[in-house]
Amino acid sequence: MFYLELDEVVRLHAAIISASGGLSGIREIGGLESAISQPQMEMFGAELIQLFLKRLGFWAFQLSSITLF
């Protein structure tokens, strides 16, 4: 499975801000790291969130519900 890394998310955010406007920077780096890593969690060698769309939805919810940027 392909996962976005922290530097990729930061660059993506910067590109969106550059194109659409807004404030740049990261408000809470620890929260961003947590939101990025949660869909990757495993238990007993199996991924907790197995369907890609559920994983994507979970990640989108985490990034939009917490003010990280």
Q: In the chain, what percentage of residues exceed pLDDT 90?
A: 14
Question: What are the pLDDT digits (tens) for 43-53?
Answer: 777 776 666 66
Helix axes 6-20, 29-37, angle to 10 degrees: 110
- Looking at residue 2, its pLDDT comes to 78
The verdict on residue 28 lying in a domain is yes
| Tally of domains in the chain | 1
CA-to-CA distance for 17 and 39, rounded, in angstroms?
25
The verdict on residue 42 lying in a domain is yes
The verdict on residue 59 lying in a domain is yes
The verdict on residue 1 lying in a domain is no
Enclosing domain of residue 57? 6-65
